[in-house]
Amino acid sequence: MEIFTSRFGSLSIPEETILVFPSGLIGFNQNPRYALLGDERGLGYQWLQSMDDGNLAFVVMEPGLIKADYQIEIPDDALGELEFREGDALTIFAIVTIPPGHPERATANLQGPLVINESKRKGKQIILNESYPIQHALISGEKATRRLEKPTEEVVTT
């Protein structure tokens, strides 16, 4: 399948690799088909590019990379929508938000993960009842708040 995207230009995506989110993503129900594009730099980020809207793409990452003890319980109705069967591989992603001009303030949505059945190429965004945050900071503490400031000049008068 061919698509022109605003971020990656023209892409040719094999049909058999397209992910289908039958319910869409929250707020994007009209865009059910996506391609998962890897990051060659090996930073753990990937792009979830809409195949229905070339201007729509999400940065995603596996939540275990930022919260090692991240565990979720997938509801039975979600497993049904994913057509999950014993032996199918499920992958979990969190959508990352990067504020323009402030990558140090990037957050991941751990409360609304994307669950993908790799075997069936089906996905679903679920809302968890667990107390995970919607905006989990990717960079924490002082590193996130530090800004480059113009050094002040010291003026000495005599």
The CATH number assigned to the domain holding 131 equals 2.30.290.10
- Residue appearing with tokens 């990051």: 39
Mind giving me the DSSP string for 48-102? EEESS-TT-EEEEE-GGGT-TT------HHHHHHTT--TT--EEEEEEEE--TT-
**CA-closest candidate to residue 102, choices 138, 132, 66, 134:** 138
User: Is 158 among the domain residues?
Assistant: no
For 93-152, write each residue's pLDDT tens digit: 999 999 999 999 999 999 999 999 999 999 999 999 878 989 999 987 554 444 333 333
Q: Report how many domains make up the chain.
A: 1
Which domain, by its residues, includes 119? 2-145
For 5-43, write each residue's pLDDT tens digit: 999 999 999 999 999 999 999 999 999 999 999 866 666
Handedness of CA 7, 10, 14, 20 (dihedral sign): positive
User: Is 61 among the domain residues?
Assistant: yes
0.95 exceeded by pTM: no
Q: Which pair of tokens denotes residue 83? A: 């057509």
